[in-house]
């Protein structure tokens, strides 16, 4: 069965007909990682996601796979070391969704990091995160700092630190991990919302009733173990389980703004001080620059956090503080996104001070909850909770499962012969693309985006390209759409434009220009009636408006 909502009925029939070893609630990066780890150990694995995969926090991050340099300031040495080491693994297993990116840390008089503390801090970071030699930090003088990024404020500049972070596409990372899980036999389905947990005679959790958000039907899924990986919603699942006690979550919201390079021609990623002594990132990507994040307590619905007027003002002020010559104004903002961090509540701490570490909680009913954490640490988090699961199966039913193999397992699209061979892979495959009539630029773009899955796309282009003409779609956009529908469980235009391609964030023009054609194509693929088509069109327009128009308040 391919990983496609065209097979939805069969997938749901399988989910309801069989008993699984484990049911995972939540299809963000945490749930995806657990599904992959469990499936590769031989556990019969199901996963349900109430929205699209990654529609929660996992498409709304700063999109960095990083050790979290700033957490060193809070002496979270163990976390920095662990997460820092994980980033190398994430890169190795999926170089098509993770790219090394040199980061400039300018130092100013009175700023967060002094020359000495930056040098020591970055050295400790290199050491803790096990940074490879070619990527170790260097310290720059004023001239060198400005040559890396001439837009940085000159007033009070003392120099800079230069070190490597890894840039990712969080939603695509999640989908590639989810696809890998499905390839290994897991059954993840999106748009299935857990409404109720099911219990056996001993009061132990043994599954869930989930409502299909596309049809309204409710399905019961049985499993020996249930894992709550619902991110910002973990407490709402614990409420259903009657086990929301002890530690709880506190949500904080983070916003990013996207500006065209013609307005903010940043050539170098920069990690910089805000006027109120926090630190934010400005990162060039695909002809745009994105900047964030804010960090404020959040008490509203986590489904659709929005940029508010004050979030926008805060980030614009931060940009103009560090890059005074660019003079960004409200109407320069092309797009934005907002996400909520599922943090474990610590009394008396400010949002930015709360630890990002993860924890596992077990309730009396046997429900396992995994809370907190970061995108970067997803694989290790998954390994830890599946180790626990394996131990339970051993104790309770004498079943044994193999150890985790995800450390050296490429994610979907990551079979390119290792990160060091990726450039060679790109060169070779780009030629294949040009041999079927693509331009070198388009071909390279597709290879970089889809890694070792690009063969499927090239094959589509070779055999079905007339479809693109029939729908008035450019060949590259059409091939992404067809692939997203047939191999990546895209069910709506927002799934496609946001989480499968990132266009809603970084290429809003394409969304505006081709939304009608994409909706028509999807309507035919999924047999939508006019009402459904209109509904999805409205949904997309609402997302477009969220991206640009700030709300007055949360
Ligand atoms: C602004 C911001 C910046 C960040 N930057 C970074 C960064 O640069 N690097 C980094 O490593 N980390 C970063 N993080 C943290 C990282 O994004 C999160 O730790 C991670 O995405 C959390 O993933 P998750 O799977 O636990 O949660 P989510 O991605 O939210 O997934 C949980 C899923 O559960 C689903 N769900 C909830 N209830 C139900 C239900 N009843 N039934 C079925 N499904 C349900 C939700 O729809 C959701 O999709 C950032 C976070 C934010 C907010």
Tell me the per-residue pLDDT of 389-434, one tens digit each, with 9 for 90 and over: 999 999 999 999 999 999 999 999 999 999 999 999 999 999 999 9
pLDDT band at 350 (very low <50, low <70, confident <90, very high): confident
| pLDDT higher than threshold 90 for residue 69 | no
Ligand 1 atom at shortest distance from the alpha carbon of 232: 30
Continuous H helices in 6-151 = 8-17, 29-40, 77-93, 115-128, 142-148
Task: Examine the pLDDT at 70 and tell me if it is beyond 70.
Answer: no
- 403 alpha-carbon distance from chain centroid: 26
* pLDDT at residue 12 is higher than 70: yes
Partners of 250 in beta bridges: 343
Atom of ligand 1 nearest to the CA of 55: 49
Report how far apart, in Å, the C-alpha atoms of 123 and of each of 88, 128, 135, 139, 269 are: 17, 9, 11, 10, 19
Distances (CA, A) of 377 to 8, 189, 230, 240: 31, 23, 16, 27
Residue 30 CA: nearest ligand 1 atom is 25
Cα 479 from Cα 223, distance rounded (Å):
37
pLDDT in tens, 440-463: 999 999 999 999 999 999 999 999
Ligand 1 center from residue 172 Cα (angstroms): 13
Q: Indicate the range of 63-72, 104-113, 143-152, 262-271 predicted with least confidence.
A: 63-72
- Of all residues in the chain, the percent with pLDDT exceeding 70 is 97
pLDDT at 33: 98
Q: Which pLDDT belongs to residue 75?
A: 61
Ligand 1 centre distance from Cα of residue 308 (Å) = 20
Atom of ligand 1 nearest to the CA of 302: 30
| Interatomic CA distance for residues 127 and 519, integer angstroms | 50
The pLDDT, as a whole number, for residue 127 is: 80
How many H-runs (helices) and E-runs (strands) does the chain carry?
Answer: 18, 18
Closest CA to ligand 1's atom 4: 61
Report how far ligand 1's centroid is from the alpha carbon of 472 (Å).
35
Burial 152-175 (b: 16+ CB within 10 A, else e): bbeeebbbbbbbbbbbbbbbbbbb
* Residue 343 pLDDT grade (very low, low, confident, very high; cuts 50, 70, 90): confident
Q: Output the average pLDDT for the chain.
A: 94
CA-to-CA distance for 508 and 547, rounded, in angstroms?
A: 9
Predicted confidence band of residue 74 (pLDDT cuts 50, 70, 90): low
Lowest mean pLDDT among 188-192, 194-198, 273-277, 326-330: 273-277
The confidence band for 538, taking pLDDT boundaries of 50, 70 and 90, is very high
The residues lining ligand 1, judged by C-beta closer than 6 Å to any ligand atom, are: 25-31, 48-51, 55-58, 60-64, 66, 193-194, 229-233, 237, 254, 293, 339-342, 373-376
> Is pLDDT above 70 for 152?
yes
Asked if residue 176 lies in contact with residue 449, where contact means CB atoms within 8 angstroms, the answer is no
Average of per-residue pLDDT across 97-123: 86
Q: What are phi and psi of 218, to 5 degrees?
A: -105, 135
Give start and end residues of each alpha helix (H) in 162-271: 170-183, 234-240
> What is the share, in percent, of the chain residues with pLDDT greater than 90?
83
- Pick the closest to residue 364 from 204, 166, 171 (CA basis): 204
The answer to whether the beta carbons of residues 194 and 15 sit under 8 Å apart is no
Which ligand 1 atom lies nearest to the CA of residue 340? 53
pLDDT one-digit tens code per residue, 359-379: 999 999 999 999 988 899 999
Q: What is the CATH number of domain 96-167+250-349?
A: 3.30.9.10
- Give the separation between CA 467 and CA 404, rounded to whole angstroms: 43
Best residue among 29, 375, 379 to mutate for probing ligand 1's pocket (most ligand atoms within 8 Å of CB) is 375
- Per DSSP, 264 falls in state S
Q: What is the pLDDT of residue 518?
A: 98
Which CATH number does 419-548 carry?
Answer: 1.10.8.870
Task: Report residue 345's pLDDT band, with 50, 70 and 90 as the boundaries.
Answer: confident
- Nearest ligand 1 atom to the CA of 341 is 53
Residue 515 has pLDDT above 70, yes or no: yes
Q: Is the pLDDT of residue 316 over 70?
A: yes
Residue 76 clears pLDDT 70, i.e. is over it: no
Q: Which of 118-122, 131-135, 160-164, 480-484 has the highest mean pLDDT?
A: 480-484
In this prediction, residue 119 carries a pLDDT of: 81
Q: Which of 67, 172, 230, 495 to mutate to test the pocket of ligand 1 (most atoms within 8 A of CB)?
A: 230
Instruction: Convert the pLDDT of each residue in 460-499 to its tens digit.
Output: 999 999 999 999 999 999 999 999 999 999 999 999 999 9
Task: Give the H/E segment covering residue 386.
Answer: helix 378-397
Q: Using CA atoms in the order 172, 173, 179, 180, what is the torsion angle rounded to 10 degrees?
A: 160
Where in the chain are the domains? 5-57+171-247+356-408, 96-167+250-349, 419-548
Look at the domain 5-57+171-247+356-408 and name its fold: FAD/NAD(P)-binding domain (3.50.50)
Mean pLDDT of the region 59-78: 77
Structure confidence at residue 121 as a pLDDT band (50, 70, 90):
confident
Burial class from Cβ neighbours inside 10 Å (0-12, 13-18, 19+) for residue 214 reads middle
Q: How far is the CA of 108 from the centre of ligand 1 (A)?
A: 34
């Amino acid at each position: 069965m391919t990983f496609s909502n065209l097979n939805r009925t069969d997938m749901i029939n399988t989910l309801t007909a069989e008993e699984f070893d484990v049911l995972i609630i939540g299809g963000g990066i945490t749930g995806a990682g657990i599904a992959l780890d469990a499936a590769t150990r031989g556990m019969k694995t199901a996963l349900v996601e109430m929205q699209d995969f990654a529609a929660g926090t996992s498409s709304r991050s700063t999109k960095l796979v990083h050790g979290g340099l700033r957490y060193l300031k809070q002496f979270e040495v163990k976390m920095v070391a662990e997460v820092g080491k994980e980033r190398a693994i994430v890169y190795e297993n999926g170089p098509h969704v993770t790219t090394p990116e040199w980061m400039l840390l300018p130092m100013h008089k009175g700023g967060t990091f002094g020359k000495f503390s930056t040098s020591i801090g970055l050295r400790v970071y290199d050491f803790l995160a096990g940074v490879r030699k070619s990527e170790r930090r260097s310290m720059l003088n004023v001239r060198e700092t400005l040559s890396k990024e001439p837009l940085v404020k000159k007033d009070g500049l003392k120099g800079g630190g230069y070190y490597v972070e890894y840039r990712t596409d969080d939603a695509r990372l999640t989908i590639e991990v989810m696809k890998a899980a499905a390839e290994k036999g897991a059954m993840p389905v999106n748009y299935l919302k857990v409404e109720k947990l099911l219990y056996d005679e001993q009061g132990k959790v043994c599954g869930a009733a989930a409502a299909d958000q596309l049809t309204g039907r409710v399905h019961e899924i049985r499993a020996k173990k249930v894992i709550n990986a619902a991110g910002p919603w973990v407490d709402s699942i614990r409420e259903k389980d009657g086990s929301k006690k002890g530690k709880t979550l506190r949500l904080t919201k983070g916003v990013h703004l996207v500006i065209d390079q013609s307005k903010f021609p940043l050539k170098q990623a920069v990690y910089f001080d805000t006027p109120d002594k926090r630190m934010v990132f400005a990162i060039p990507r695909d002809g745009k620059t994105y900047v964030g994040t804010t960090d404020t307590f959040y008490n509203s619905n986590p489904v659709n956090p929005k940029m508010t007027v004050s979030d926008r003002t805060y980030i614009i002020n931060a940009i103009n503080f560090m890059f005074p010559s660019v003079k960004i104004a409200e109407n320069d903002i092309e797009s934005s996104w907002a996400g909520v961090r599922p943090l474990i509540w610590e009394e008396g701490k400010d949002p930015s001070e709360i630890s990002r570490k993860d924890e596992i909680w077990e309730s009396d009913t046997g429900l396992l909850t995994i809370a907190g954490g970061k995108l970067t640490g997803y694989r290790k988090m998954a390994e830890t909770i599946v180790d626990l699961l394996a131990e339970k199966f051993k104790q309770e039913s004498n079943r044994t499962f193999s150890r985790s193999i995800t450390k050296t397992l490429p994610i979907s699209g990551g079979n390119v012969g290792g990160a060091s061979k990726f450039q060679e892979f790109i060169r070779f495959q780009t030629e294949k693309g040009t041999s079927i009539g693509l331009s070198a630029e388009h071909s390279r773009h597709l290879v970089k985006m889809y890694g070792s899955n690009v063969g499927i796309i090239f094959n589509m282009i070779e055999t079905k390209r007339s479809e693109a003409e029939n729908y008035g779609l450019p060949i590259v956009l059409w091939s992404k759409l067809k692939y997203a529908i047939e191999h990546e469980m895209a069910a709506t235009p927002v799934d496609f434009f946001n989480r499968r391609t990132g266009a809603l964030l970084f290429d809003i023009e394409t969304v505006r220009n081709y939304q009608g054609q994409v909706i028509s194509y999807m309507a035919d693929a999924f047999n939508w009636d006019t009402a459904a088509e209109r509904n999805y069109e409205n949904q997309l327009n609402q997302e477009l408006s969220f991206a640009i128009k700030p709300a007055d308040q949360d």
